[in-house]
Amino acid sequence: MNPSRLTWRKSTRSGSTGNCVEVADNLPTAVAVRDSKDRQGPVLSFTTGQWAGFVQGVKGGRFVA
């Protein structure tokens, strides 16, 4: 996976604090995630099923601090 070839997006709900992640979901079987402050840094990769489970958990309030 070459991160420079991916289409990255950041949530429209991200504030101006800089504490954001960017997501690239235009891969056939995976979703890539990176720190928006360190675009040349490491990239995490999740299967589409793992990512769907994470998003469902967020929407369901499972990860509230």
Note the pTM of the prediction, 2 decimals: 0.79
- The answer as to whether 38 is a domain residue is yes
- The answer as to whether 64 is a domain residue is no
For the stretch 18-54, pLDDT in tens is 678 899 988 889 999 999 888 889 999 999 999 999 9
Report long-range pairs for 40-48 (Cβ below 8 Å, ≥24 apart).
43/1, 43/3, 45/1
Decide if pLDDT at 16 tops 70.
no
Tally of structural domains, the chain: 1
Asked if 22 and 37 count as a contact pair (C-beta separation under 8 A), the reply is no
- The answer as to whether 27 is a domain residue is yes
- The answer as to whether 44 is a domain residue is yes
How confident is the model at residue 26, as a pLDDT? 86
- The answer as to whether 32 is a domain residue is yes
Query: Which range marks the domain in which residue 47 is found?
Result: 3-11+19-59
- 2 beta partners: none
- The answer as to whether 24 is a domain residue is yes
